[in-house]
A and B are shown apart, each in its own frame.
Chain A
Amino acid sequence: SQQGEEDPQALSIQEGENATMNCSYKTSINNLQWYRQNSGRGLVHLILIRSNEREKHSGRLRVTLDTSKKSSSLLITASRAADTASYFCARLTGANNLFFGTGTRLTVIP
């Protein structure tokens, strides 16, 4: 499938712990983007990492990209209850097509 896989499908952690979500894909990419979706709402862009980058940070978020393994991970450090949401990766291919995964549902327990 062009969509690739997100792993895990669901994750439940205690507040203050770190959360790691993974995204794997099959075709080469131009960039990879991570989005957050709160329940029943639209998506919010978090980070974009280009194919020639290996790591990016934004506040408590850290994204890594390993193009040799065709995978990316999103790390949220010191999680808060407000981080409870679904997280999606979206892969931009060289043909200028963007494919979203099915998401990881993160629950942070206060």
Chain B
Amino acid sequence: DVKVTQSSRYLVKRTGEKVFLECVQDMDHENMFWYRQDPGLGLRLIYFSYDVKMKEKGDIPEGYSVSREKKERFSLILESASTNQTSMYLCASSLWTSGVRYNEQFFGPGTRLTVL
């Protein structure tokens, strides 16, 4: 079975802390994504990566950075957490097929981050 795992289901951090969210996929997918989900706003893309060490900004990259040192692992970093980064964070992966990045996406269970 295809699997995407995220390091934590729930996380509580304080303002100004550095936060690491980890995502691992076991499907050998080229593409990996980080989204945040907020009520009334749907899913918004933060960053994605189409290969090891490659990354591109999504719609809302401000305040975030990412790291992809290995194909199966994609990390989201909040350099200095702020209260407006309280949200549900979802990781996803997909195959690159025929030049299309966004084929079927496989999502992890999500990390609910609260910044106090």
**Do the two chains belong together in a single complex?**
yes
For residue A109, which residues in chain B have a CB less than 8 angstroms away from its CB?
A: none
Asked if B106 is at the interface of the complex by the 8 Å CB criterion, the answer is yes
Q: How many angstroms from the CA of A94 to the CA of B49 in the assembled complex?
A: 19
B residues with CB within 8 A of A: 4, 35, 40-45, 88, 90, 92, 100-110, 112
B27 shortest CB reach to chain A, Å: 13
Of the listed stretches A13-21, A52-60, A97-105, name the one at the interface; the rest are far from the partner chain: A97-105
B43 in complex: contacting residue of A45, A92, A100, CB < 8 Å:
A100
B104 in complex: contacting residue of A3, A45, A88, A102, CB < 8 Å:
A45
Given contacts A30-B100, A48-B104, A96-B102, contact A43 B42 (CB under 8 A): no
For residue A45, which residues in chain B have a CB less than 8 angstroms away from its CB?
A: 104-106
For residue B106, which residues in chain A have a CB less than 8 angstroms away from its CB?
A: 45
Given contacts A98-B45, A103-B42, contact A44 B107 (CB under 8 A): yes
Closest 7 CB pairs of A and B: A42-B107, A100-B43, A98-B102, A102-B42, A43-B107, A45-B104, A100-B42
A30 shortest CB reach to chain B, Å: 7
Asked if A40 is at the interface of the complex by the 8 Å CB criterion, the answer is yes
A-B contact number at CB 8 A: 54
Listed A/B pairs (26) with beta-carbon separation below 8 Å:
A3-B42, A31-B100, A31-B102, A33-B102, A33-B104, A33-B105, A35-B105, A40-B88, A41-B109, A41-B110, A42-B90, A42-B107, A42-B110, A43-B43, A43-B90, A43-B107, A45-B104, A45-B105, A45-B106, A88-B42, A88-B43, A90-B43, A90-B102, A96-B100, A96-B102, A100-B44
A42 in complex: contacting residue of B44, B101, B109, CB < 8 Å:
B109
Chain A interface bracket (under 10, 10 to 19, 20 to 34, 35 or more):
20 to 34
Q: How many angstroms from the CA of A3 to the CA of B59 in the assembled complex?
A: 12
The reply to whether A42 and B102 contact each other, CB–CB distance below 8 Å, is no
The reply to whether B42 and A42 contact each other, CB–CB distance below 8 Å, is no
Q: How many angstroms from the CA of A96 to the CA of B99 in the assembled complex?
A: 9
Q: How many angstroms from the CA of A30 to the CA of B99 in the assembled complex?
A: 12
Q: How many angstroms from the CA of A33 to the CA of B101 in the assembled complex?
A: 13
